[in-house]
């Protein structure tokens, strides 16, 4: 009698064939909402950003293992700088930066959870950066470019990774990401940046920075993947069908928005 073959290690669950169309539909809806709010600007754009930021913080709190009372404390703390960056208040600036630091410190002291406190910075800084970008003279096109770079990186990485495959980028953190996906995302981001320079009039230097921003976006994606792996979950939430949570959708934008704001500040100082 032959010995039974050992059971093979379970691999990642393949996506269902219907998953891509569902992801595409939800993605188009999200892009349409973002573009509409971006075009409207002002209070409408701030409301969308603030709502998204608080939803992200709620998911972050779940990943950090925080209790409901601790989650409420963090969200209350973050709501203060989010309110201050409103066009109806002080707007994005050094005062808001100080409030973000104070809200982070307060959350850490009261909840005794460093990771939860870090979430306040994680959601507040990108929100302030996006409002700062939108408030520039060419803010509409600059903010649109910022979002488009992240979208192009995600799309380029997805299709290049699926069609080419190859060595894994960081298999211990995100088994599905490949070096070919990163390259595809960078190429898509560069072409997107050049298109915005040609037809949108953004400075060529910012357009070429799209290459670096694509890497930054992928870094944000990997960081969130590490948080999910540490928490033992596949997605940060279930709010967005086919996409997971709000964190899953905006993880690349989180580091890119502050980086773009810094590039704009540096360009203005030169």
Integer CA distances (angstroms), 21 to 27, 137, 245, in order: 10, 38, 18
Residues in the chain, pLDDT under 70 = 1-19, 268-270
pLDDT at 268: 65
Shortest CA distance to 262 belongs to which of 160, 89, 106, 128? Answer: 128
How big, in percent rounded to 5, are the helix, strand and coil portions of the chain? 75, 5, 25
| Nearest alpha carbon to residue 186 among 218, 163, 162, 164 | 218
| Burial class for 30, CB neighbours closer than 10 Å (0-12, 13-18, 19+) | middle
The pLDDT, as a whole number, for residue 10 is 42
Which pLDDT value is given to residue 4?
45
Model pLDDT, residue 143: 96
Domain map (residue ranges) of the chain: 36-135, 138-270
């Amino acid at each position: 009698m032959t010995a039974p073959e050992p059971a093979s290690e379970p691999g990642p669950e393949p996506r269902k064939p219907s998953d891509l169309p569902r992801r595409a539909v939800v993605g188009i809806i999200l892009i349409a909402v973002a573009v509409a709010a971006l075009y409207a600007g002002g209070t409408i754009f701030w409301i969308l950003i603030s709502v998204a930021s608080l939803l992200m913080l709620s998911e972050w709190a779940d990943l950090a293992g925080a209790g409901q009372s601790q989650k409420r404390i963090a969200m209350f703390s973050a709501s203060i700088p989010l309110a201050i960056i409103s066009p109806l208040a002080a707007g994005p600036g050094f005062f808001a930066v100080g409030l973000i630091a104070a809200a982070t410190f307060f959350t850490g002291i009261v909840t005794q959870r460093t990771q939860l406190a870090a979430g306040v910075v994680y959601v507040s800084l990108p929100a302030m950066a996006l409002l700062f970008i939108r408030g520039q003279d060419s803010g509409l096109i600059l903010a649109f470019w910022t979002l488009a770079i992240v979208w192009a990186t995600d799309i380029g990485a997805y299709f290049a990774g699926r069609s080419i495959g190859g060595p894994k980028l960081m298999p211990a953190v995100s088994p599905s990401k490949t070096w070919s996906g990163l390259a595809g995302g960078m190429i898509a981001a560069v072409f997107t940046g050049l298109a915005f320079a040609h037809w949108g009039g953004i400075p060529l230097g910012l357009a070429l920075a799209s290459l670096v921003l694509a890497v930054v976006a992928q870094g944000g994606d990997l960081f969130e993947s590490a948080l999910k792996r540490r928490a033992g979950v596949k997605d940060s939430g279930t709010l967005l069908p086919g996409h997971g949570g709000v964190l899953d959708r905006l993880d690349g934008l989180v580091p890119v928005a502050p980086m773009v704001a810094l590039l704009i500040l540096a360009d203005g100082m030169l």
